[in-house]
């Protein structure tokens, strides 16, 4: 997939010596007709003159950009197609004005959509959180407190279990949260797949991963960004447990009693996020569009 960003600069932010004005992380909103979808871009340097980066679209994983060209206020880069059955590239052109990216995204299918990008917040916390009162997200009886995302609602509550017996809609909590600790128990059948989206933006992978090498798209991963330190997965069909702590961008993930990610920064939104408004609180979202899955004992402890 090829992305091209054309930037003309109005007022420039202060840039460290040796850095380019385009470097940094960008939270992007794509307007597709009357619907908005999120995206994310990172531009960084490698050596003295070479720029590289990463890009996340409204679906799929984070993809590396081997070289970002930047000259005469124009930045351009190319990425192979990920999903589209097309030999054409995706292109994005934008103007940097008042520290925002404004322009047009052209898909490999030739569709053109408007984009708006803002610099992503650092989300750095000066103090350690003080934890509040735990909240039970699923009452074990019905789907109160949850909203269905999409027309195909297959989610049901039975015998203390919240389950998606087949592929269908995703769901999210009505409540939203900033920093929190989350306990979740889940069960996936063989070769099924789901995900827990923290603040509706950062997917923690849920998948049948027993016996596989740790990877960015397997159980315990921050999807597309960070692989777990080890594969702590149980057999498909067994109940498994996540204990997750998210403070700003820093995350610790314990899977089945083993810490597989420790105080690691989440760079940006993952594919399938609800939005790219990283500075705002967000819900817990659960994927139901990748196959059957079951959840129980969902408990969140927000920071005060």
Q: How confident is the model over 143-194, as pLDDT tens digits?
A: 999 999 988 999 999 999 999 999 999 999 999 999 999 999 999 999 999 9
Do 200 and 175 contact (CB within 8 A), yes or no? Answer: no
pTM tops 0.85, yes or no: yes
Backbone angles phi, psi at 193, to 5 degrees: -155, 140
For the chain, what is the total number of helices (H) and then of strands (E)? 0, 22
Of the listed ranges 18-22, 213-217, 297-301, the one predicted with least confidence: 18-22
Quick: pLDDT tens for 219-233.
Answer: 999 999 999 999 999
DSSP string across 188-249:
--TT-EEEEEETTTEEEEEE--TTPPP-TTSTTSBTTTB--SS-----TTS-EEEEEEEETT
Q: Which of 120, 9, 11, 6 is nearest to 56 (CA)?
A: 120
Calculate the CA 91 to chain-centre distance: 21
- The CATH architecture of the domain made up of 135-302 is Sandwich (2.60)
- CA dist 88 and 86 (Å) reads 5
Q: Name the pairing type of β-strands 35-46 and 24-32.
A: antiparallel
> What are the extents of the domains in the chain?
2-119, 135-302
CA distance from start to end of the chain: 43
Confidence of residue 18 (pLDDT cuts 50, 70, 90): low
What is the model's pLDDT at position 126? 94
What is the model's pLDDT at position 169? 95
- CA dist 235 and 36 (Å) reads 38
Q: For 187, which DSSP code?
A: E
Pick the CATH number of 2-119 from 1.10.10, 2.40.128, 1.10.3210, 3.40.720: 2.40.128
Average pLDDT of span 272-286: 97
Calculate the CA 279 to chain-centre distance: 14
Assess whether pLDDT exceeds 60 at residue 44: yes
Quick: pLDDT tens for 59-114.
Answer: 888 988 888 777 777 767 777 777 777 778 877 788 878 888 888 888 888 889 99
């Amino acid at each position: 997939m090829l992305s091209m960003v054309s930037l003309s600069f109005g007022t420039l932010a202060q840039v460290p010596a040796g850095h380019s004005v385009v470097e940094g992380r960008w939270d992007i909103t794509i307007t597709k007709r009357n619907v908005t979808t999120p995206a994310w871009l990172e531009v960084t340097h490698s050596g003295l003159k070479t720029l590289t980066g990463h890009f996340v679209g409204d679906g799929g994983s984070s993809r590396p950009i081997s070289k970002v060209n930047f000259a005469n206020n124009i930045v351009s880069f190319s990425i192979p197609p990920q999903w589209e059955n097309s030999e054409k590239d995706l292109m994005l052109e934008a103007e940097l004005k008042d520290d925002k990216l404004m322009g047009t995204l052209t898909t490999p299918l030739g569709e053109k959509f408007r984009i708006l990008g803002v610099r992503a917040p650092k989300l750095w916390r000066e103090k350690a959180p003080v934890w509040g009162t735990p909240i039970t997200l699923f009452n074990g009886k019905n789907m109160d407190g949850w909203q269905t995302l999409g027309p195909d609602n297959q989610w049901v509550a039975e015998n203390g279990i919240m389950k998606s017996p087949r592929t269908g809609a995703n769901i999210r909590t009505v409540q939203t949260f900033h920093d929190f600790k989350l306990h979740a128990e889940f069960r996936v059948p063989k070769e099924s797949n789901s995900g827990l989206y923290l603040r509706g933006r950062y997917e923690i992978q849920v998948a049948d991963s027993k016996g596989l090498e740790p990877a960015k798209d397997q159980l315990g991963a921050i999807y597309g960004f960070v692989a777990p330190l080890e594969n702590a997965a149980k057999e498909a069909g067994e109940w498994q447990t996540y204990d997750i702590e998210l403070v700003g961008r820093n995350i610790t993930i314990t899977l089945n009693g083993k810490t597989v990610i420790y105080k690691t920064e989440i760079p940006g939104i993952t594919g399938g996020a609800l939005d790219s408004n990283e500075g705002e609180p967000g819900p817990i979202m659960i994927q139901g569009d990748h196959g059957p899955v079951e959840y129980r004992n969902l408990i969140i402890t927000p920071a005060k």
